[in-house]
Amino acid sequence: MQQRALGHTRRSVSAIGLGTWQLGADWGQVSEQDAAAVLAASADSGVTLFDTADVYGDGRSESFIGRFLAARAGHDIVVATKMGRRLAQEPENYTPENFRAWTDRSRANLGVETLDLVQLHCPPSAVIDDDATYEALDELVAEGRIAAYGVSVETSAQALAAIARPHVTNVQIIFNPFRLKPLDEVLPAAEAAGVAIFARVPLASGLLSGRYTAQTTFAADDHRSYNRHGEAFDRGETFSGVDFEVGLKAAAELAASLPSGVTLPAATLAWIASRRGVTSVIPGARNVAQAQANAAAAALLDDGFDVEAFDRAVHEVYDRDLRAAIHPLW
Ligand SMILES: NC(=O)c1ccc[n+]([C@@H]2O[C@H](COP(=O)([O-])OP(=O)(O)OC[C@H]3O[C@@H](n4cnc5c(N)ncnc54)[C@H](OP(=O)(O)O)[C@@H]3O)[C@@H](O)[C@H]2O)c1
């Protein structure tokens, strides 16, 4: 597995990491046993980045990771957590006191003195644009509560604002074949600034698995049932903001462009990881088979898969089916 520099830190992270929202909540039931098996399968496959958040299952995801890593002496895994959604996303809640309380809770959940990396969890633009935000985060670093910080964002404009800040280690943004806007400015700006990019929702919440049909249904406690139109949080977090039927057609077109033996999710992850400026892709996995397949997709980067042919298909499909609806929004 390729390992890449994590911004200006001395750490590195795998080209394909693991998203662990699934191990918390909002994706139907994932048992503690399955969660531990997903973490182990990923680590055993060379994954050295786990992305989590204090709100995933109200600490469930962080606690599973903490217990798993405590039993894995000498590991080199970077845990990127997030903070800022335990209260309403109002600018007045992003105070140094709340930052301390939130990071103290994550330190306890993860069982560490110093958090490797904390990302603000999609805060309002006013917070991303405020000098006081970064002063407070710098204090957390000086206090040893966190080693580094970043910002998870919804829009390209927010990403550019965060990238411009000197001590930001990473920006996390939705980037996948159904969401190409980051190619325009965000990835070049991040590369120039040495800011790491984590590409989230890389499989468009599973639409790019190529497994779903018009008959596919999701559990009532799965956001793919209850947030299709942005009822609970930003619509872009569910299926990348793409209408389900439109996404099915686009996924089928992309799958048809692939040589036999290469699956759509593997091609998608390798394509994302191969774009300049991307540091790590963080697919979520609900079971061991998915975790192993996703990590194994990194091999496509080295084994002759024609990623530029897939790139052409991605642009064709996006321009024809998706650009008009998606490009102006995020
Ligand atoms: N605001 C934020 O900062 C934010 C928001 C969203 C996500 N994230 C992070 O980004 C991570 C990734 O995004 P995501 O989980 O929302 O979406 P995603 O990675 O695009 O999709 C995950 C889903 O894809 C399917 N899948 C995964 N691997 C597969 C494989 N090998 N073959 C077939 N299907 C596969 C599974 O669907 P099934 O469930 O149908 O099996 C899985 O639940 C999250 O876990 C989280 O860490 C952060």
For atom 25 of ligand 1, which residue has the closest CA? 206
Give the model's pLDDT for residue 30.
Answer: 84
Give the model's pLDDT for residue 296.
Answer: 97
Question: pLDDT tens, 88-146?
Answer: 999 999 999 999 999 999 999 999 999 999 999 999 999 999 999 999 999 999 999 99
State if residue 294 touches ligand 1 by the CB under 6 angstroms criterion.
yes
pTM of the model: 0.96
For atom 14 of ligand 1, which residue has the closest CA? 201
Q: Give me the amino acid identity at 82.
A: K
Picking from 265, 203, 285, 193, the residue whose alpha carbon sits closest to that of residue 240 is 203
Q: Are 128 and 162 in contact (CB under 8 A)?
A: yes
Strand (E) or helix (H) holding 168: strand 168-174
Strand partners for 196: 170
Question: pLDDT tens, 253-281?
Answer: 999 999 999 999 999 999 999 999 999 99
Exposure of 89 in the CB half-sphere (CA atoms within 13 A): 15
Q: Which residue has the tokens 């217990």?
A: 67
**64-66-67-68 Cα dihedral, nearest 10 degrees:** 80
Q: Are 209 and 178 in contact (CB under 8 A)?
A: no
Binned at pLDDT 50, 70 and 90, residue 153 comes out as very high
State if residue 284 touches ligand 1 by the CB under 6 angstroms criterion.
yes
| Dihedral pair phi/psi, residue 229, rounded to 5° | -115, 20
Give the ligand 1 atom nearest the CA of 154. 1
Q: How far apart are the first and last CA of the chain?
A: 31
Q: Over 80: is that where the pLDDT of 28 sits?
A: no
User: Ligand 1 centroid vs 285 CA: distance in angstroms?
Assistant: 6
**Separation CA 112–CA 97 (nearest Å):** 20
**How long is the chain?**
330
DSSP string, 195-214: -EEEEESTTGGGGGGT---T
State if residue 4 touches ligand 1 by the CB under 6 angstroms criterion.
no
